[in-house]
Chains A and B, each alone.
Chain A
Amino acid sequence: MTTAMNCKPAELKTEPMILSIERSAAGRRGIRFPRPEKHAGAYLPERFLRKTPPRLPELSEFETVRHYTGLSRRNYCLDTHFYPLGSCTMKYNPRVNEDMAALPGFANVHPYAPEAAMQGTLGFYYGMEQLLCEITGLGAFTLAPAAGAHGEFTGILVAAAYHRSRKDRARTEIVVADSSHGTNPASAAMGGFSVVTVKSKPNGRVDLGALKAALGPKTAMVMLTVPNTVGLFESEILEISRSAHDAGALFYMDGANFNAVMGIAKPAQFGVDIMHLNLHKSFSTPHGGGGPGSGPVGVVRELEKFLPVPRVVCENGAYKIKTGRPGSIGRVRSFLGNTGVVLKGYCYLRMHDGGTLRSIAENSIINANYVRVKLKDLFPCAYDEHCMHECVLTTVPERLNGIKTLDVAKRLLDYGFYAPTIYFPLIVHEALMIEPTETETRETLDAFIGAMRAIAAEALADPALVKNAPEGLPVNRLDEVGAARNPDVRWR
């Protein structure tokens, strides 16, 4: 069996975990500034000044570089390891996008520079909105939200504003599926709505009967994740959107995982009124260990007036920033948005057309199904049918000497793979949610499949090996219970 392209970081095992502060020596410097002529006390009242210097690391530049380079080597990442993390869309991040976002012409712009001095930035803002409208079929987009969940919250406030504008104050509920992303109900609650959860059917889709029963004069919106979190397309989507509309509710699509849809279908044709996209997933901007992201929200024309400010508009060939818009829900953050991330997404989209977008969706679907088919004898599919961009497999402890999904995930780390998403969606027992994405080669998938099969064999031959994994990483399994009971969240 080949273990992909990865080196196991076994050599890192012996290095102790040293904190930057522990490398400090009093008076050591990483950078110097010119000396001020006078101290702050010459300009400011003494009582406002800091009495004791902060306990920050004192390192040379070289030590700083070496320390953080050392940390980087204790990290699995997309560039070094296959990262089949379901619903997270860990696809390749083109490096040219990084170069473009770092151009001084973009990076050095103050957010309150006059419009005339930032036509380049406003140009790609406007262009990105147009591109997103075209690929979704929706009427307008805002690029203000900083992340997917921030986009959901924005969309929920838009829905609230819409119903308020119609003097329809009875609509206090948002309907979500039990398989939805956890942020959907959390965002709905933040927007002041009560959450009605609808169960999924054994085939992984929303139970249409239960959905219809949940709808009524109190329903403000139905939120649906498409493709859903078990990797399937909601094949009754037209009936779902029609039912929502018949009940007077809006229909929201969580488009976090849009790479399986873009190029093959336009959400507006599903009957979608509001949706968000995650630029840091489908549009290839890097995840950065947890962010920054960007969560644009698209709406049908009728809802455009409710979108947050500011909006970038084009008047007589010049781009302008509009802030005072009647009907708008207001601001959801300061300044324009996560501009640098938007630019990376814009670069990605400009390198595609309808045909290549389609190949993204197709290849992500082929890859997920390939993994599913090659593993389902040992790790049964939660839903045994063709899937979209991800598949949900399960571990059956009774068949594997008591080995559970967590054990499989940890052992995969030893084989040089990041783990799939585990125990999600919550409705699948011992879930392993695998999303290969369209950018992985068949060779990498074969190596991953080989590792999964090898782990199943190990479970039968030597279960302790799997239970105690990982063994070749900088640390073994960590005490999470202890960490939560006695939190140590800063150096002392």
Chain B
Amino acid sequence: MFSPHTTKQREEMLKAIGVSSVEELTAQVPAELLNPAYNLPPALTEQELVEHVTRLSAKNTPLACFAGAGAYDHYIPSAIRHIVQRGEFLTAYTPYQAEASQGMLQAIYEFQSSICALFEMDAANASMYEGATALAEAVNAAVRITGRKKILLTGALHPEYKATLKTYFGVTGAAVFADIPCAGGQMDMAALDSMLGGDTAAVVLATPNFYGVIEDAQAVSDKAHSCGALLVATVNPVSLGVLAAPGSYGADIAVAEGQGLGNPMSAGGPYLGIFACKKEHMRHMPGRICGLTKDHNGRRGFVLTLQAREQHIRRERAASNICSNEALCALSATIHLALLGPAGLKEAAELCVEKAHRLAALLSAAPGFSVKYSGPYFNEFVLECPVPAEKVRSRLLKKGILAGVPLGNFDKSMKNCLLVCATEKRTDEEMRQFAAELGRFSK
């Protein structure tokens, strides 16, 4: 369907090649393997495809989204999609020929710069797959940097991030993990004290954590560093519009899921892994990095740099196997941050804080419902329900509301807990409706 050759052209080209049929060209494939039968549905025309796929999309229910847990329904300014969909960005490849790729390279440099500014870190790479794999790469880097293997994980780490770490390191044992218990939805500092030691490579902190609670990052950082361990922080980049940045409390490596910066939720991907670090760890940073340099006439230009750590050069001795990243999602984030600027990002973040707190007040006014943890929170919180959270979510679904994420799916002891999120997109009316439904529920 997308091949342009006419029958006549094909024949002329075969003749130019010096063969009489295409079979001569495929003769290097053993004959018994050639020409299998395919049981595929009929090829659709473009119009038929649009009808088919549009019908499929209608099988997804539109919902007012109060779910977070690592994927957030933020407003995406229109201009982003229009720029990102330009063929010059959309259909380019990894910028291997720098002179013909200055646009993408500069955009990557601006991405790295904006991330460094937002995170208050010295260096960032051109992106990773998503948040969980970015954290796995951070653990890998921490092990290399410290020469130690033991990683202390916050007990309030996203369960899917924890599962990903287990998959990445479970077989090799290159890193070994221990969970720091939680007390009241926050890291138990006494437990951290007792677990830290000279063998600790890094403490992995999440703030806000999986339960939405903001941790005392400075205290965790001080404790980790007193043992020579690194602090690896995983954060919500949108929260950094109001919350202290990882660099300000001494994080050595900071990672994040960057979806909330201008990328749609899209049922889980493509998302954007963010990886930033202190200057001294830059050569341990995996993935692509863009650097500013000059051409032979002294003009400013950009290249991919520090490539000696990469798989295409070092093969099995590479720092990581990552090759493709999420460049287009990083471009969306770059444009998002440029459109919002420091003031817009702060406004969006403050709206999240305000709406989440207003929502918490409304929901906990319903009989039997309460906010479970007393710690400070940014845009989401755990709602303790008088009945299984699954039931609450099912009831609200009928009203077009996705009430949150039932935590029983991750931890059976939390079957009555609903992780509820409010971004700047949620309206007062949606929040009131949500609360009104809860009021009816407990009767």
Contact A157 B83 (CB under 8 A): no
Q: Which residue of B lies closest to A57 (CB)?
A: B338
Contact A50 B316 (CB under 8 A): no
Contact A160 B171 (CB under 8 A): yes
Contact B171 A64 (CB under 8 A): no
Contact B25 A110 (CB under 8 A): no
A160 to B170, alpha carbons, bound, how many Å?
A: 11
B residues in contact with A56, CB < 8 Å: 114, 117-118, 337-338, 340-342, 345
Contact B85 A98 (CB under 8 A): yes
Contact B60 A424 (CB under 8 A): no
What string of 1s and 0s marks CB contacts (under 8 Å) between B240-271 and chain A?
11111100100000000100000011111111
Is B145 part of the contact surface with A, judged by Cβ < 8 Å? no
A residues in contact with B123, CB < 8 Å: 487, 489-490
Is B300 part of the contact surface with A, judged by Cβ < 8 Å? yes
Is B63 part of the contact surface with A, judged by Cβ < 8 Å? yes
Contact B318 A186 (CB under 8 A): yes
A108 to B61, alpha carbons, bound, how many Å?
A: 10
Q: Restricting to A34-52, which residues have a CB under 8 Å from any CB of B?
A: 34-40, 43-45, 47-51
Q: Which of A51, A288, A338 contacts B269 (CB 8 A)?
A: A338
A residues in contact with B92, CB < 8 Å: 75-78, 287-289
Contact A336 B269 (CB under 8 A): yes
Q: Restricting to A363-390, which residues have a CB under 8 Å from any CB of B?
A: 363, 365-367, 369-370, 373-374, 385-386, 388
Nearest chain B CB to A455 CB, angstrom units:
15
Contact B341 A337 (CB under 8 A): no
Contact A75 B269 (CB under 8 A): no
Q: Chain A's interface: helix, strand, loop or mixed, by majority?
A: loop
Is A399 part of the contact surface with B, judged by Cβ < 8 Å? no
**Quick one: given A85-B96, A135-B40, A330-B167, are A477 and B85 in contact (CB under 8 Å)?**
no
Number of A-B contacts (CB under 8 A): 685
Q: How many residues of B contact A (CB 8 A)?
A: 203
Contact A351 B104 (CB under 8 A): no
B residues in contact with A255, CB < 8 Å: none
Q: Restricting to B93-109, which residues have a CB under 8 Å from any CB of A?
A: 93-104, 106-109
What string of 1s and 0s marks CB contacts (under 8 Å) between A3-37 and chain B?
00000000000001101110010011111111111
Q: Which residue of B lies closest to A124 (CB)?
A: B56
Contact B33 A470 (CB under 8 A): no
Q: Which residue of A lies closest to B331 (CB)?
A: A289
Q: Which residue of B lies closest to A308 (CB)?
A: B167
Q: Which of A117, A293, A439 contacts B60 (CB 8 A)?
A: A117
Is B440 part of the contact surface with A, judged by Cβ < 8 Å? no
Q: Which residue of B lies closest to A336 (CB)?
A: B268
Q: Which of A287, A388, A480 contacts B94 (CB 8 A)?
A: A287
Is B443 part of the contact surface with A, judged by Cβ < 8 Å? no
What string of 1s and 0s marks CB contacts (under 8 Å) between A262-296 and chain B?
01111001100000000010001011111111100
Nearest chain B CB to A343 CB, angstrom units:
8
Interface stretch, picked from B47-55, B191-199, B221-229, is B47-55
Q: Which of B40, B49, B71, B97 contacts A110 (CB 8 A)?
A: B71
